[in-house]
Amino acid sequence: MNLSRPARLAAGIVGLIAAPIALGLLVLLFAVAWAYPSLPPIDALTDYRPKIPLRVYSAEGALLGEFGEERRNVVSFDAVPVVLRQAILAAEDDRFYQHGGVDTIGVLRAALTNLTSSGRQQGASTITMQVARNFFISSEKTYTRKFYEALLAFKIEATLAKDKIFEIYINQIFLGQRAYGFAAAAQIYFGRALKDITAAEAAMLAGLPKAPSAFNPVVNPKRARTRQLYILERMKSLGYLTADQHAAAVRESLVVKRDVNDFPVKADFVAEMVRQLVFDRYAEDTYTRGFRVITTIRKVDQEAAHAALRRGVLDYDRRHGYRGPEAFVELKTGSEEELEDALSDTNDSESLLAAVVREASPTQVKAYRRSGETVVISGDGLKFAANALNDRAQPNRRIRRGAIIRVMQDEKGAWSILQLPQVEAAFVAADPSDGSVRALVGGFDFGINKFNHVTQAWRQPGSSFKPFIYSASLEKGLTPSTVVNDAPIFIDPALTGGQLWEPKNYDGKYEGPMRMRAALTKSKNLVSIRILQQITPQYAQDFVTRFGFDADKHPPYLTMALGAGSVTAWQMVGAYAVFANGGYRVNPHLITRITDDSGRVLSESRPVRAGDEAMRVLDARNAFIMESMLGDVTKFGTAARAGTTLKRADLAGKTGTTNDHVDAWFAGYQSSIVGVAWIGFDQPKKLGGQETGGVAALPMWINYMQRVLRNVPESKRQAPEGVVNAGGEWYYREYAPGEASVQSIGLSDGTAEGEKRVEEVKNQLF
């Protein structure tokens, strides 16, 4: 057929256009045929095993901490709320369920926009292409990378269902703040479970994949808000939100968490101990395999211990005065940017918030907090730091413009000036029936000082060690009625391991002959020394190992009677548990079980329980009599405040104050729980002349017990077989009233006159 000239011309033009297109298609087909077989296998997707961090939980399942490079909570597709799916589709790939991995319409639309617009270039990556990129391809922006990304997207779509691809994307994508996946991001940014997020929160989260740093609501709240509003508008235009729902979401005020390590229960020291224990066993797998560690910690106990320790330390700090601002900065303009910069190197310590002073006078201080709020402190809130507001205050202690201070708000909303304490503390509590640790706080603030004062601090126990000397003496035939002379004594250097020793009682007073029971109640040093002389330091050194103490930490000298050896709070809680459970050695432990991410148990603890006679280390009679004496300490003695405050008769324990008031302790128990409190400085120095165990440590123990014993009925231990009561005192049957029951130590000089004096004393006491 003869074509007209115009027709031939048109055909030629079509041919000129079609030829390169056809050639391009042939080249593309050849490239696909050549590249497709060389694509990596997608086993990582078909057998998806994301890196999941180690998570540490309380006995009830409250999250205590997590460790891993990637913070991730894996969820199934069905567990993802519809509103979040819609927000992600609106933000990233609204044609996800229509295309086959590469959205050709989206590509053409982006190309047209890029050709006609001088603004930011648009991409056309689908959700499937992003999955391909995250697992198999680098993020460099080249045509070759894009080509492979598209081919992998086709391969993924040919292998996996759409919902499965979407599920992998939702769990794998990086969303800033170490959050991988939307479930982790919901918790980190909003403190919510994924199922509970709102449309406004979903839109904010859906804006993160595009640029996790630029649209991070913690770092860039304004840009994050702009992105959120764009996505909400897209959701409305796509029919995901009605006009009313859209308006409500736009109006919703979001509360974004600034502290990404904010767990429901403050247990940083516990979590770190668990991390170390798990790492010792599983090495680097610890941080990727999704191990779940269930601890013995109880939520209520841990919260009570944490609050008690913080309160005890702050109370001590208040008693010793204000030291001055932490630092000073020069404020030129007082702009918000300058104020924020001034606080950039200072972290908050829970309720102790860092602030920079804008204005200061003796009657009012205005200080800027990191939240952007300027707080006003006046009246009682200035009392603690009043001396630092005086014009005569030393320059380095004076509160003035540019000073970095600490402020705290009380329950009524009033602000006060405090300071970060320099003193440290420890508290640990355990179930004496099996050693399960119920609460552990290793210091005032883990973020400031990670040294665990429960397990790592070896300190002198002072008088809190005396019960173990008394317990040893019961095995040597002494009784609570044994009369011991509370009088000055001079100890030869050969018996102390040092120099001539002239020990004194805490109050510098001596009461002469007194019963052992009264001596322990009043914590008489001279009586303890004479008891140790009687039973010998060598015997006592061997005896205390029954309680879990190290013999080499307690040299066999008379100074052992005053607790001059070294212990940890961890050892002390196990040792006092022996008295509390009737004589059995139980091992303090933290971990109940370890599971993998699917819940399969990998290991489980099987603790020894009190009642297993193979673990008996102390005669039941000894434990009973010691408890009766330690009970008097909490009723009439150095810890009488415990009995009067808690209004219970089933408490027992002992205060401890070391030489020069360097360490203060209280260790005590009720039959269901044993607790140990310590306070002191990391670099040992005097706490202060009045800071005894009863003043500085006992209040922490009381505040803890006040909460955990609230609904626990009083208990009364029955006297074991072989114990008798005579004249209101308890004895081993073989030492019941007779000569042994009124033996004496340190009263007679061996002369007839000395023996006569002994008889007179016994007649007075009995």
Q: Pairing state of beta strands 327-328 and 353-360?
A: unpaired
- Contact between 304 and 707 under an 8 Å Cβ cutoff? The reply is yes
Task: Give CA–CA dist 346/420, Å, rounded.
Answer: 11
Of 448, 285, 437, nearest to 354 (Cα)? 448
Instruction: Look at strands 403-409 and 353-360 and give their pairing.
Output: antiparallel
Q: What's the one-letter identity of residue 560?
A: M
Catalytic, out of 125, 349, 433, 463: 463
The distance between the two most distant Cα atoms of the chain, rounded to a whole number of Å, is 154
What are the DSSP calls for 165-219, one per residue? Answer: HHHHHHHH-B-STTBBSHHHHHHHHHS--GGG--HHHHHHHHTTTT-TTTT-TTT
- Please answer whether residues 318 and 426 qualify as being in contact, where contact means their C-beta atoms are separated by less than 8 angstroms: no
Distance CA 130, CA 474 (A): 75
Of 307, 313, 427, 424, nearest to 676 (Cα)? Answer: 427
* Token pair belonging to 669: 């128990």
Helix or strand or coil: residue 676? Answer: strand
Handedness of CA 155, 161, 164, 170 (dihedral sign): positive
Backbone torsions φ then ψ of 107, nearest 5 degrees: -65, -50
Listed in sequence order, the residues at least 6 apart from 611 whose beta carbon sits closer than 8 Å to its beta carbon are: 584
Which tokens go with 461? Answer: 């126990």
How far apart are alpha carbons 324 and 331 in whole angstroms? Answer: 18
Give the dihedral of Cα atoms 340, 255, 210, 130; nearest 10 deg: 130
Q: Under DSSP, is residue 641 helix (H, G, I), strand (E, B) or coil?
A: helix
Q: How many residues are given for the chain?
A: 766
End-to-end CA distance of the chain: 141
Cβ pair 566, 544 in contact under 8 A: no
CA atoms within 13 A on the CB side of 10: 5
Query: Judging by DSSP bridges, how do beta strands 744-745 and 483-486 pair with one another?
Result: parallel
Please work out, in degrees rounded to the nearest 5, the angle formed at the alpha carbon of residue 698 by the alpha carbons of 692 and 699.
Answer: 115
For 161-192, b where at least 16 C-beta lie within 10 A, e where not — what string? eeebbbbbbbbbbbbbbbbbbbbbbbbbbbeb
Please name every residue paired with 408 in a beta bridge, in sequence order, or none if there are none.
416
- Tokens 């709320």 identify what position? 81
Distance CA 453, CA 443 (A): 6
Cβ neighbourhood burial of 571 (10 Å; 0-12, 13-18, 19+):
buried
How many degrees, rounded to 5, is the angle at CA 510 between CA 680 and CA 565?
35
| Paired tokens of 371 | 């939240």
Contact of 404 with 328, CB cutoff 8 Å: yes
Tokens of 130: 């992003």
- Per the CB < 8 A criterion, the answer to whether 579 and 438 are in contact is no
Query: What is the spatial distance between Cα 755 and Cα 147, in angstroms, rounded to a whole number?
Result: 106
Query: What distance in Å separates the CA atoms of residue 39 and residue 53, rounded to the nearest whole number?
Result: 30
Got the DSSP string for 412-426? TS-EEEE---S-EEE
CA distance 386 to 617: 55
Distance CA 605, CA 703 (A): 30
Catalytic option among 92, 149, 627, 691: 92
Between CA 372 and CA 221 the distance in angstroms is 13
Q: Could you confirm whether 463 is annotated as catalytic?
A: yes
Residues with a known catalytic role: 92, 463
